[in-house]
């Protein structure tokens, strides 16, 4: 494996700035790595070597011409296949969009292009971001580089697998209920869900519009911060985008500190139901924080216990409406019903949705349609929205006592492929600790907290901050990461087994 793919994005940026290496060389090294390992990892649904190398050459030319360029100029990135990319396939992991090449770029993608970051390709995901393992992808699962028989989390397992397998230094994920943070936890990477409205949703194929948020996936907190600075900020094309001047996340990461920090340990997230090794690493990480001068406060968020139930009413309701646009008329697939000479539009629509959507998508459309139907709306959807308000109030009360809240990110380490795929409720439980942040719109980060003793697999530590305080996540996360790297004698991913594939 080329040493270039082992460098962090910040290290690549310095090497590029010093003229030690070109973006073409860096991009080629990652494409070679993808060529060598992706048949085993399956992080990518589509790789774009020609486009990426052309963008790399343009980045090198820009650097030669100009003194003022973005810090990540020339550093390649992988993009979850739920963000539209002009002329490049975008499937959202679904058959129904197979073969579709969007006519426009998502704002996140536009910003990556403006920043001169070559796009290596599009990463695998659960269909329409519904899932926690990538097993609901219509194109087959991704594999966890720590153990190829295990899941890399979901829905953004492809982005997390690409970064943890050194196929990309950075990736974009999206998080509706945990799809950036939980894959981060189970692959030993850093993932951040920004404040709702902090990163534009324009061009993000909607799952649940009031919960969806794109964010960075990286191997270090600083790298995530640098990428956040590129993709974040107000966008007039997204009416829910927050119009404010955000501080530099990278500056916050570089100034990271935890002395005097009040850390709220959420009583309801952790303990019973959490794997012993996950809980143990969580508690050990708390000790590191205390040793560095932070103060622990136990906080209670009693309504978090209702979060999963509320989420699985609100998400399917919004999804059933958002997915109505896949009607065989406008995008992708169109299936003619068998044995019907002159099918009506409705018959084509039915046949297409039957063939184009997978089981999990159909399950949620049915659930959402039911929850929104007249007669049941108040009992289900209306009730879930009230729970959502109570969860926001729990956050407000907790943040009155603490600067950040913490918990394990996911209740277990990576499970085996096939273990939970036929048990929707077991799959849904993976997000028990991540969902409250989406319901309230607050930002959250997962960073690697070590390996669980019983299976030697990565565990994740979640940090939550009040809305708009994303920079605080980076300040705390970077300081904590330094202590954890010290504790483990190096970055966690250095301990991952080398993938046994041709190099």
Q: Which residues are catalytic?
A: 80, 155, 179
> In sequence order, what are the beta bridge partners of 298?
265
Rounded Cα distance, 456 and 146, in Å: 9
- Closest distance between ligand GLN and the C-beta of residue 130, in Å? 5
Pick between residue 142 and residue 155 the one whose CB is nearest to ligand GLN.
155
405 closest CA partner among 397, 416, 417, 415: 397
- Closest distance between ligand GLN and the C-beta of residue 502, in Å? 33
Rounded Cα distance, 111 and 234, in Å: 12
Which residues contact ligand GLN by CB under 6 A?
129-132, 155, 175-179, 207, 315, 431
> In sequence order, what are the beta bridge partners of 447?
461
- Closest distance between ligand GLN and the C-beta of residue 81, in Å? 13
Pick between residue 207 and residue 445 the one whose CB is nearest to ligand GLN.
207
Write b or e for each residue in 242-264: b if 16 or more Cβ atoms lie within 10 A of its Cβ, otherwise e. beeebeebbebbeebebeebebb
Q: 368 burial class (0-12, 13-18, 19+ CB within 10 angstroms)?
A: buried
- Closest distance between ligand GLN and the C-beta of residue 90, in Å? 16
Pick between residue 7 and residue 108 the one whose CB is nearest to ligand GLN.
108
Report residue 233 as tokens: 């900020």
Task: Say whether the peptide bond before residue 155 is cis (omega within 30 degrees of 0).
Answer: yes
Rounded Cα distance, 422 and 341, in Å: 37
How many CB atoms are closer than 10 A to CB 375?
A: 6
Q: How many residues does the chain have?
A: 503
- Closest distance between ligand GLN and the C-beta of residue 180, in Å? 7
Pick between residue 74 and residue 411 the one whose CB is nearest to ligand GLN.
411
Torsion sign across C-alpha atoms 80, 83, 89, 94 = positive
Pick between residue 93 and residue 256 the one whose CB is nearest to ligand GLN.
93
361 contact partners, CB below 8 Å, separation of at least 6: 94, 127, 128, 130, 136, 319, 323
- Closest distance between ligand GLN and the C-beta of residue 256, in Å? 27
Rounded Cα distance, 203 and 274, in Å: 36
Torsion sign across C-alpha atoms 271, 456, 433, 254 = positive
Pick between residue 142 and residue 285 the one whose CB is nearest to ligand GLN.
142
């Amino acid at each position: 494996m080329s040493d270039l793919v082992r460098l962090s994005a910040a290290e690549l940026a310095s090497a590029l700035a010093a003229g030690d290496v070109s973006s073409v060389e860096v991009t080629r090294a990652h494409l070679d790595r993808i060529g060598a390992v992706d048949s085993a990892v399956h992080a990518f649904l589509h790789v774009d070597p020609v486009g990426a190398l052309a963008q790399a050459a343009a980045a090198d030319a820009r650097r030669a011409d100009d003194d003022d360029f973005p810090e990540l100029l020339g550093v390649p990135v992988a993009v979850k296949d739920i963000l539209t990319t002009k002329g490049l396939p975008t499937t959202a992991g679904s058959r129904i969009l197979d073969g579709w090449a969007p006519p426009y770029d998502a704002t996140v993608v536009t910003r990556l292009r403006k920043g001169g970051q070559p796009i290596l390709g599009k990463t695998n995901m659960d269909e329409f971001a519904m899932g926690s393992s990538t097993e609901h992808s219509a194109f087959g699962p991704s594999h966890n580089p720590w153990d190829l028989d295990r899941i890399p989390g979901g829905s953004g397992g492809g982005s997390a697998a690409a970064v943890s397998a050194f196929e990309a230094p950075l990736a974009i994920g999206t998080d509706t209920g945990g799809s950036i943070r939980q894959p981060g936890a189970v692959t030993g990477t850093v993932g951040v869900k920004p404040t709702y409205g902090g990163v534009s949703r324009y061009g993000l194929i909607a799952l649940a519009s009031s919960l969806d948020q794109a964010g960075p996936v990286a191997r270090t907190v600083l790298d995530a911060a640098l990428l956040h600075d590129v993709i974040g900020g107000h966008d007039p094309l997204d009416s829910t985008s927050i119009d404010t001047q955000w501080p530099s996340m990278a500056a916050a990461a570089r100034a990271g500190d935890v002395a005097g920090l009040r850390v709220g340990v959420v009583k309801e997230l952790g303990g019973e139901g959490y794997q012993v090794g996950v809980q143990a690493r969580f508690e050990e990480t708390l000790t590191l924080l205390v040793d560095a001068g932070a103060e622990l406060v136990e906080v209670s968020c009693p309504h978090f216990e209702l979060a999963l139930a509320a989420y699985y009413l609100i998400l399917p309701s919004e999804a059933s409406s958002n997915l109505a646009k896949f009607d065989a008329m406008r995008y992708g697939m169109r299936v003619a019903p068998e044995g019907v000479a002159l099918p009506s539009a409705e018959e084509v629509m039915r046949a297409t949705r039957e063939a184009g959507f997978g089981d999990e998508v159909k399950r949620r459309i049915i659930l959402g349609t039911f929850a929104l139907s007249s007669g049941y709306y108040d009992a289900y959807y209306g009730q879930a929205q009230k729970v959502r308000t109570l969860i926001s109030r729990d956050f407000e009360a907790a943040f009155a006592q603490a600067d950040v809240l913490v918990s394990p990110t996911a209740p277990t380490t990576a499970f085996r492929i096939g273990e939970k795929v036929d048990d929707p409720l077991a799959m849904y439980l993976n997000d028990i600790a991540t969902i409250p942040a989406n319901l309230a719109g607050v930002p959250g980060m997962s960073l690697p907290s070590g390996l669980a003793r019983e299976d030697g697999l990565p565990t994740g530590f979640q940090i939550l901050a009040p809305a708009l305080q994303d920079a605080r996540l980076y300040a705390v996360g970077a300081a904590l990461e330094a202590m954890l790297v010290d504790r483990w004698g190096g970055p966690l991913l250095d301990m991952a087994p080398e993938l046994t594939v041709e190099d």
